[in-house]
Amino acid sequence: MITIPERKERESAKEYVVRVLVDNIVNTGLEPGEKLIEQELCEKLGVSRTPFREAELELAQRKLIDIRPKIGTYVAYIDAELVEEVRHLRSVLEAEIAGMACRLLSAQDIDRLWENIALWQLYIKRKQEDKIFLLDKQFHSMLYHLCGRRHWYELVESIAPHFDRTTILSFRCRPAQMILQDHENLIRAVEARDEAHARMIADQHMNRYTENIAAIRAAFPKYFKVENR
């Protein structure tokens, strides 16, 4: 079921539609292969057709929806090749971020990371996968921003939804404890100012996708792109 948050202050109608659709595509409120009913969604979002169609064009360019002339617009299936491209880019950047964190983060910065970990523990106990996903995003965002690499993060976020779709599914079919352990180990390496170890942990962390993809596809086969569908 689609989730519709309130529109942010100064957020244009198009930006609002993009945000809502992306969030729902990632969390499967809109499932892969689902048809987007323009009139119905415009009414729910309280927007006219023009910004809605502009948002659709942007999401089609980002390969999150498929526009089929005279047929309809559909949520794109998860493309494993696109996901792997995002994973590879992140693995390169986040190994560098991990090394930088060892040099740049203050004790106060590290405390903020531990606060994030404490919330993970809470939501794991409650089995709130969507909350865990948001904490995972927050953890990585904090590392980029604390290292002064905001533009790197913006680059990653521009293509992140493809990887995010599999991340949230992984939390639904496999324990999140291993991902949490990676985060804890990374913080400890940063505390120890051990750049080599921090880089290794970051690389290992991003390779979890490769380890998990078979289980994710087995649990959610209809969500993935296949030929002739």
pTM: 0.91
d(CA 106, CA 213): 36
pLDDT in tens, 32-71: 999 999 999 999 999 999 999 999 999 999 999 999 999 9
Predicted pLDDT at 229? 60
- Name the average pLDDT for the chain: 95
Q: Please report the pLDDT score of residue 119 as a whole number.
A: 95
> Do 102 and 181 reside in the same domain of the chain?
yes
pLDDT at 228 over 70: no
Residue 1 has pLDDT above 90, yes or no: no
Q: Is the pLDDT of residue 227 over 80?
A: no
Where a domain ends, among 31, 47, 75? 75
- HSE on the CB side for 161, CA within 13 Å? 24
Report whether pLDDT(92) > 80. yes
Domain count across the chain = 2
- What integer pLDDT is reported at residue 175 of this predicted model? 82
pLDDT confidence band for 174 (50 / 70 / 90): confident
Q: Are residues 140 and 211 in the same domain?
A: yes
Whether 116 and 31 share a structural domain: no
In a domain, 4, yes or no: no
CATH code where residue 120 lies: 1.20.120.530
The helix (run of H) or strand (run of E) holding residue 106 is none
Q: Is the pLDDT of residue 212 over 90?
A: no
Q: Helix 177-191 and helix 208-219: axis angle, to 10°?
A: 170
- Identify the three-state secondary structure at position 175: coil
Alpha-carbon span 31 to 162, nearest angstrom: 13
Task: Tell me what pLDDT residue 105 has.
Answer: 98
The mean pLDDT value for 83-107 works out to 97
pLDDT above 90 for 29: yes
Q: How confident is the model at residue 209 (pLDDT cuts 50, 70, 90)?
A: confident
* pLDDT tens digits, 150-167: 999 999 999 999 999 999
The answer to whether residue 1 sits within a structural domain is no
DSSP 8-state class, residue 6: P
Q: Is residue 176 part of a domain?
A: yes
pLDDT of residue 57: 98
Residue 67, φ and ψ in degrees, nearest 5: -100, 115
pLDDT at 167: 94
**Cα separation values, 142 from 110, 115, 136, 147, 149, Å:** 10, 12, 10, 8, 10
Residues comprising the chain, all counted: 229
Q: Could you tell me the residue range of the domain that residue 215 belongs to?
A: 80-221
